[in-house]
Structure 1
Amino acid sequence: MVGLSLLARLNTIVKTAKHINMDAPFGGVNMIFFGDYLQYSPVLDKPLYHTHALAQQYNERQIEMQCAQKIISQINCVVELNQQMRTEDARYLELLTRLRNGKSTIEDYQLLCKRAPILVFRNTLRTQLNNRAVLNKAIETGIRLVVCVAQDYIRNKAIDDSRLRKAILELPDNKTEHLPGYLPLVPGMPVLLTENIATELGLSNGTRGIFRQLVYDELSEDVQFDVAIFPEHTKFITRPKYALVEFLSCKLASGLKDLEKKKIPISLTEQTFTYDIKDLLTETVSKAAKVVKRPTKIVIKRKALPLIPAYSITTHKSQGQTLRKIFVDLVTPPGPVEVASFYVPLSRVKRLDDLLIVRPFNFSSLQVKPTAAQMEELNRLNKIAIKTRKHFPTT
């Protein structure tokens, strides 16, 4: 998902690299863009169809975005891809087509009401569902539950304050650059890769795999953590080396040495994030810090496996994936709602029979219309597409 800020940065990088025609977009290099404006907008960026209101002054980021808008406005050739390649169910395809245009019928609503990774809107709920599913898998197979514990550091020193360490480990992974504090694992469970490892081999952020084995340094005695969500006999691993994960979609031509084909070792990765300790301070200390304007945010360096259980995933993370069967919640959390909130999760499967709805939802959810900015850009591109077809007729 490319937004205006990212597009502006890419434009600058390519122009600098070419260093030939600095006045032309991307230094005169022909660019091909592809995507769907009615899917989720980029995170922490503005979509390419976003328009800025006029202002007397603009900051640097706003100027970058306006430059990116000028680039997008210069697109002079458009090809519309109208054939749906994922959905095999004709009736369901008609439903999805109406849904993306905000024109769902009461019959569409009734059809969905009659009706599995679980797709949810919030990371916290996803984590709770995943932890429960992994625990059930351990009970079902009779295997002791193993939980990988992230290694957190402040200024390259391990955190020795138990309250602080517990609070940081329990943060949702959307606050920790997608490296979880606790990673429950059972052989045979589905996992999701959260970082780009080797995109050319199909090992990128969002790739699904099957966890097979954990390789780690054995300690002389079991280390226990006060985590109520895991049973007493859980084995906590604080020194993992790597996880062996089977990626069926991996494009590696042959297996790695001593490993079966498609089995890839996933090692620890490192990320940094900030945490505000004010909630851990006493009221007196907190007030004193505020008076002297002493910052309460600290920088944490985390080392952990870039994996999360994939029994449940967020609708954002599901974008672009084809899932065999899904169990989806269409009751959205508080906040803005867009066409993508419903179109993205419902369009992950090939047939209506592969979809189950968690609970009742409002008919109005299926009638969310594209924004005026989305429609304006789609109409502009459609006009260019008509001109393109006339200029490049097919035989």
Structure 2
Amino acid sequence: MDNHDANDTMLDDIAKEIDGLDPVARRLRCSGHIMNLIVQAFLFRSKAKKIQEDEREGIDEAYERLCRLSEREEGGIITKAQATEEWREFSVLGKLHDLCIYTRSSTSIYNDFKAEIGRALPRDNDTRWNSWFRLIDVAIEKRAKFMDWIQENHAKIEKDALDHNDWNELGDIHAFLQVFHQISVRQGRENTLDEVLSHMDFLHHHFTRTKNRAFSGPRFYARFHVAWLKFEKYYQLTEQAPVYVAGILLHPALRKSYLSEQWKRNPAWVSNAVKAVRKIWSTEYKSYQLPDKQQEKGQELDEFDRWRQKVYSTASEVKDEFDRFIYGSQVGIGQQTALQWWLEPTQRENFPLLCRMAIDIFCIPPMSTEAERIFSGARRQVRWDRSSMSAKMVEASTCFSNVHNSLGAVAVGTDSMELQELVANQSNPVQIFEKPKSSPAIFRQIQSNPNCLQSNNITDSLLHLPINKDFRPLSPIDKAQLQKKLKDIKYLIIDEKSMLGLRQLSWIDDRLREAFPSRNEEFFGGLNILLVGDFFQLPPVLQKPLYYDKEVQGVEIKGRNAYRRFDKTVFLKVVQRQRGDDQEAFRTALGELRLLQLSKESWKLLSSRVQAKLDDREVARFVNALRVYATKDRVNEYNHYHLDRLSRPAIQVTAKNVGSGAAAAPDDKAGNLAKQIPICLGARLMLTSNLWQPVGLCNGARGTVYDIGWAPGAEPIQDPPCVIMMEFDKYNGPVFLTTPDGKKIVPILPVERDFLIGATLCTRTQFPLIVCYAITVHKSQSITEDMIVTDLSCRDFQTGLSYVAVSRVKTLEGLMLDAPFDRNHLIYASPPDGMKMKMRDHQLRRRQVLTRNPYKTDHCSA
């Protein structure tokens, strides 16, 4: 259990119902939590006065204050200036926190800091003391460059500048915490019960050694003294639970010799500890009647056997098993754990009764974190008494034979699609393919705009294409399957044309000629093609865009010839996302942003949504808003930080891959399915596939993880879950269950996507989900949001980034910008070559506006 007083009360109440139960001796404590309390006392107690009197109250009050401050700062409840001032009251740690926050206050400051220092400062948080250690560790490692940066920016961070005394104190803090960090790392690997007492003994040695050296100042002395008092409290409490000493005495490499050496100055401690463990042995295990081997085999004892049991003495009866073991010679066990050693047949033969006690002792996990990590998401599958043991302990002592899962057979529905009203009522079958992000191998069925009307005439299919490799014809079997699948298709809609390259359009042409062999002399096999999208959005990755009009080579020439076959164009004039007269100025700004011609009026309009210009109440509205950033590094950092803040046990859901090279394929080349997804209860996730659009389960839908379920008989720590129960923000369909507080819970199941690596057909099975506290601009191109936070402070490294990021939101009031931005980043006196090519293509298409029946069999571009 953890160290909460409520657990003491619970054991006291249980002892009243069970005769002979000693609640003090049975009270075990999470060793990781003890470590956390000691370090928290060290970090957040900085005043030396009245240490003895208010040690506990002062530490708890300081830590609770820090948690409240962190929460108010993150939630935007107080201004940055107020938060900065309050953090300074935590002395050098508060200064270091403020400096970390400042380095992340804008993209330009963040990038400049990383360029000068060589890396970013890790963010501290109020739930993990190791986060503070990492922050201090990096600051000390980069001290020379960090001091230069502080000197250069002294005017802006004067009150938080670290002086010589601050650096000395940080050095002392770092040296003191280094040992705790080493033990914490060890606890995270193979922590066993026998190590709890040995860790405490080592920390006692660490405290004793530290108090004999000079301190950097009175603040460090206060930290050290309060941490010492907290350590002494729990050091003494571990003595009250004999099971910790039992872990030492029953360890083949330690035994009583360890206690005699470590506690040689207090021999009374040794004798009392051995006496307490011997009591457990005598009362619970020594008198246990082992079955005779003949009885185990089902054979009845004859008269001679019964007489021999009374007369003969076995070797274990000559001397007590417990004494024989603890006073025996220490035995090295190599890489084995003590539990593994006791499970060997030899130990069962030599110590048949003590072996039972040892297995019971070593099956007790020293920390509650592993049980929480494994079973919090599977709590409806595993009995609660099982959650007291780690997965390895369970495997050693019993098996998962009673796993039950009531969610395994639940399905969510079939794939459906959305189609623009232009083709919604057509009687001919229509096939839609979106150009997936960053050139995946398959053009798969998905429509980018979640506000389009649904058409029941859309059929499901996949068009296989190679990725960044030469085109390879399909095998006769695959070709026959493709021809059968597409034989009734009359229209092919390719969305997000801005992300389609000339090579890929050539590959589509070649593949469709294979699909329709009777018309393989015609472009696209004679199929009607509707090319939809906006070239002023994101361009393709590592390919020349369709509007590229300079010299090309090889298959790009074929792609250009195919693109020039599109000779009829329809322009959609009404902006659907930013509707209403009150958004006219916002639409104008977006139009100028799209062409990189942002006027002063539009710049002022967008600048009014910079966070620094908004009041606290307005900023607080965006606490849970989606962040859209240009780079994966910034997205990953933001997502990791918010997952860590949940302080929930997390699992990595690993995809199942089939085919050579499939496991190494990145997400964007494997049907938009992630190789791994970090998931925990309460995490915010986004759908990356259209599962059931009419009720809101479409690409871009966001929700919160309610529960995680595994298949019957699965091992939660090794096997991926079979279902993730989600509460979606805008779901309006039937539910699997409704919680007492009105949450609509629906199951999300894994999906399977096919893709090609060269000529090899591969498959990936994974949940169509990603963590979505923040997403990249490329991921956002197909979504619409009520509220978005983004950053325009850096010049776009790719045309269209700023326009796509800002245009995802419906209203100006739903936009917040992280930092001020330079208008010069979003305006060009002379347009770059790419923009000039877009404009030339735009003018060409203006001369091809469609004026007749759009459903006539022909090629059409939109």
Report the Cα distance in structure 1 between the residues aligned to 2:562 and 2:658, rounded to whole angstroms: 42
In structure 1, what is the equivalent of residue 634 of structure 2?
Answer: 125
Give the deviation of 1:151 after TM superposition: 6.7
Given candidates 596, 600, 607, the residue that maps to 1:102 is 596
**TM superposition shift of 1:200:** 9.9
Q: TM-score, normalised by structure 1?
A: 0.67
Could you say which residue in structure 1 is the equivalent of 2:254?
Answer: none
Contact persistence 2:689–2:699 (CA under 8 A): yes
Which of 528, 540, 564 is residue 30 of structure 1 equivalent to? 528
Q: Which of these residues, 734, 737, 749, is aligned with residue 266 of structure 1?
A: 749
Q: Give 1:353's match in structure 2, choosing from 813, 823, 842.
A: 813
Q: Is the 8 A contact 2:709 2:724 kept in 1?
A: yes
Whole-Å separation in 2 of the counterparts to 1:155 and 1:10: 23
Please list the CA deviations of residues 301-335 of structure 1 after superposition, one character each: whole Å capped at 9, or x if unmatched: 987544221111111111021111011011347x7
Q: CA deviation at 1:174?
A: 7.0
Q: Does 1:145 align with 2:656?
A: no
Q: What residue in structure 2 maps to residue 112 of structure 1?
A: 606
Q: Which of residues 76, 97, 101 is equivalent to 2:567?
A: 76
**Distance across 1 between alignment mates of 2:676 and 2:515:** 40
Offset of 1:84 from its aligned partner?
0.5
Cα distance 1:219–1:145, how it changes in 2: closer, same or farther (>3 A)?
A: farther
1:50-61 equivalence runs, <5 A = 50-53=548-551, 58=553
Check whether the contact 2:748–2:767 (CA below 8 A) recurs between aligned residues. no
Deviates more, 1:17-26 or 1:312-321: 17-26
- Which whole-Å CA distance do the structure 2 matches of 1:86 and 1:250 have between them? 20
- Against the structure 1 CA distance between its residues 102 and 210, is the aligned structure 2 distance closer, same or farther, given a 3 Å change threshold? same
User: What CA distance in whole angstroms lies between the structure 2 residues aligned with 1:7 and 1:198?
Assistant: 29
Distance 2:704 2:772 in 1: 9
**Whose strand fraction is larger, Structure 1's or Structure 2's?**
1
Cα distance in 2 for partners of 1:255, 1:220 equals 28
Q: Which runs of 5+ in 1 are unaligned?
A: 160-167, 224-236, 275-300
Quick one: distance in 2 between partners of 1:330 and 1:73?
A: 35
Q: CA deviation at 1:87?
A: 0.5
Equivalents in 1 of 2:686, 2:701: separation in Å? 6
The amino acid that maps onto 1:336 is F
Which one of 564, 587, 595 corresponds to residue 93 of structure 1? Answer: 587
Show the counterpart of 2:679.
Answer: 184
Distance change >3 Å, CA 67–CA 135, structure 1 → 2: same
Q: Distance in 2 between matches of 1:17 and 1:23?
A: 12
**Larger relative contact order (CA 8 Å, sep ≥ 6):** 1
Q: Which residue of 1 aligns with 2:769?
A: 307
C-alpha separation between the residues in 2 aligned to 1:108 and 1:194? 33
Helix, strand or coil at the partner of 2:537: coil
Query: Could you tell me how far apart the structure 2 residues matched to 1:19 and 1:131 are?
Result: 50
Task: Give the match for residue 279 of structure 1.
Answer: none
The 1-side partners of 2:674 and 2:524 are apart by 34
1:17 corresponds to: 515
Give the AA of the match of 2:608: K
Structure holding more helix per residue? 2
Counterpart residue type for residue 25 of structure 1: F
Given residue 355 of structure 1, which amino acid in structure 2 is its aligned partner? Answer: L
Name the residue aligned to 1:337.
Answer: 798
CA distance in 2, matches of 1:363, 1:74: 39
Query: Compared with structure 1, are the counterparts of its residues 201 and 5 closer, same or farther at alpha carbon in structure 2 (3 Å cutoff)?
Result: farther
For residues 250 and 45 of structure 1, the distance between their equivalents in structure 2, rounded to whole angstroms, comes to 38
Aligned length: 322
CA RMSD of aligned residues (A): 4.1
Contact map agreement 1:247 1:264 (CA 8 A) in 2: no
2:365 counterpart residue number: none
Instruction: Please state how far the C-alpha of 1:196 moved relative to its aligned partner.
Output: 6.7
Partner of 2:528, secondary structure, is coil
2:505 aligns with: 7
1:337 is matched by which residue type in structure 2? Q
Shift of 1:126: 0.8
The Cα of 1:52 is off from its aligned counterpart by 4.7
**Which string of whole-angstrom CA distances, capped at 9 and with x for unpartnered residues, describes residues 131-184 of structure 1?**
222333x35xxxx3333353799999xx9xxxxxxxx9xx99779975254503
Give the corresponding residue for 2:838: 374
In structure 1, the partner of 2:824 is 364
Kept in 2, the 8 Å contact 1:192–1:206? The answer is yes
Cα offset for 1:244?
A: 2.3
Give the deviation of 1:352 after TM superposition: 0.7
- What is the rounded CA distance, in whole Å, between the counterparts of 1:21 and 1:272 in structure 2? 26
How far apart are the structure 1 equivalents of 2:517 and 2:808? 42
Seen in structure 2, the aligned counterparts of structure 1 residues 29 and 307 have a Cα distance that, compared at 3 Å, is closer
Is the 1:95–1:104 contact (alpha carbons within 8 Å) kept by the matching residues of 2? Answer: yes
TM-score scaled by length of structure 2: 0.33
Quick one: distance in 1 between partners of 2:716 and 2:710?
13
* Structure 1, 258-267 or 171-180: larger mean CA deviation: 171-180
Could you tell me which of 170, 191, 211 is aligned with 2:705? 211
Return the offset for 1:5.
2.5
Q: Aligned pair in 2 of structure 1 residues 377, 146: CA closer, same or farther (>3 Å)?
A: same
Other structure's SS at 2:530 match: coil
Shift of 1:208: 3.3
Cα offset, 1:363, TM superposition: 0.9
Counterpart contact for 2:785–2:808, Cα < 8 Å: yes
Name which of structure 1's ranges 214-223 and 350-359 shifts more when overlaid on structure 2.
214-223
Partner SS for 1:240: coil
Q: Is the 8 A contact 2:669 2:755 kept in 1?
A: no
Question: What is the SS of the residue equivalent to 1:183?
Answer: strand
Q: Using the alignment, how far apart are the partners of 2:572 and 2:669 within structure 1?
A: 37
Q: Secondary structure at the match of 2:539?
A: coil
For the pair shown, the structure with the greater C-alpha radius of gyration is: 2
Tell me which moved more, 101-110 or 239-248. Answer: 239-248
1:191–1:211 Cα contact (<8 Å) kept: yes
Match of 1:243 among 713, 724, 730: 724
| 1:170-203 residue CA offsets vs partner (Å, 9 max, x unmatched) | x99779975254503223x431234676789976
How far off is 1:350 after superposition?
Answer: 1.3
- Distance in 1 of aligned mates of 2:753 and 2:853: 49
SS in 2 for 1:317: helix
Q: CA, structure 1 residues 249+17, in 2 after alignment: closer, same or farther (shift >3 Å)?
A: farther
Unaligned runs of 5+ in 2: 1-495, 610-624, 739-743, 758-762, 855-862
**1:348-373, CA deviations, whole angstroms, 9 ceiling, x for partnerless residues?**
11111110000122212221546221
CA, structure 1 residues 32+150, in 2 after alignment: closer, same or farther (shift >3 Å)?
A: closer
Match of 2:790 in 1: 328
Equivalent-residue separation in structure 2 for 1:24 and 1:273 (angstroms): 25
Aligned amino acid, residue 511 of structure 2:
I
Offset at 1:37? Answer: 0.6
CA distance in 2, matches of 1:32, 1:104: 31
Q: Give distance in 2, aligned partners of 1:356 and 1:259.
A: 35
Q: CA 1:125–1:336 in structure 2 vs 1: closer, same or farther (change >3 Å)?
A: closer
Query: Separation in 1 of the partners of 2:801 and 2:691?
Result: 28
